[in-house]
A = this chain, B = another copy of it.
Amino acid sequence: MSKDLHIVKIGGKLINDQASLKEFLVAFHKLDGPKILVHGGGRKATEMSALLGIETKLIDGRRITNKDTLEVAIMIYAGLINKNIVAQLQCMSINAIGMSGADANLIEAHKRPVKDIDYGFVGDIDQVNPKALEGLLAIDITPVLCAITHDGHGQLLNTNADTIAAQVAIAMSKEYDVKLSFCFEYPGVLYDLDSPKMTMSQISEGEFINMKTSGTVNSGMIPKLSNGFDALKGGVGEVSICGIANLSNKENATTLTL
């Protein structure tokens, strides 16, 4: 029988605020058994770009990544945010190790081909190599993954953190019963942004397709849900959207179903 593995993706808004981040890390710390944290970038990369006079351009929530914005993404995601999270987890006696997709060749990607839009140095994932993660988990080390991948030819690439979480979850589901949680600022997917406690308990893929067609799903939720359904279809046992307070018990969280 395979073992449980929690994979938790923490979104940008929770990272922006030191108090929320701390609260999240305490909740993450309380999850039993082996676990992996995947983090997004948050506002800091945009702020740093602004300080350096680099224009930030987003299309459908995805950053257009030229050479300069890639450098900022590497500095902020793999450097500042990743190492601060690792240091805070160490302080809670979680033996964390921060990694990009280049480290231990964890995530190989290719630069997204230019069609209508040139996304620049954005990586689409080709392969997650689960062996290194399994080796680390086996010696009680907790991987903390940032949203940077590489192409195997020396080029680092910016990659959506929701996609990383989903693809890592799929790769790890061969050996583990994976529970994938997308943790954000609400307890689950809301019916209405004006009622931040009224969450949907379940969303099926069919309902998600209808929600997209009818425009009743917030654009920020689309990548999270798309990646969540990809994960389910790829063999991940449980996928949910939740907040910090219900990360462990999933009360009022939204569970995805096929």
Footprint of B on A, CB under 8 Å? 51-52, 71, 74-80, 82-84, 86-88, 90-91, 95-100, 102-105, 132, 135, 139, 141, 148, 150, 152-156
Contacts and interface: CB of A to CB of B under 8 A. Distances in A.
A51 B248 CA distance: 43
Given A78-B78, A84-B156, 6 more contacts: A51-B51, A52-B52, A83-B156, A86-B103, A95-B104, A98-B99
A37 to B, nearest CB: 13
Contacts of A98: 78, 99-100, 102-103
A84 B148 CA distance: 11
A100 B83 contact: yes
A143 to B, nearest CB: 10
A156 B78 CA distance: 14
A135 B74 CA distance: 27
8 contacts: A52-B52, A74-B84, A84-B156, A91-B152, A96-B102, A98-B100, A104-B141, A132-B139
Contacts of A104: 95-97, 141
B90 A154 contact: yes
Contact of A99 (B77, B97, B132, B148): B97
Nearest to A52: B51
Contacts of A154: 87-88, 90-91
B52 A148 contact: no
Given A83-B100, A132-B141, A105 B90 contact: yes
A21 to B, nearest CB: 11
A87 B150 contact: yes
B102 A95 contact: no
A105 B139 CA distance: 13
A74 B83 contact: yes
Contacts of A82: 78-79
A108 to B, nearest CB: 9
Contacts of A156: 83-84, 87
A90 to B, nearest CB: 5
A86 B146 CA distance: 15
Nearest to A73: B79
A100 B74 contact: no
Contacts of A80: 71, 74-75, 79
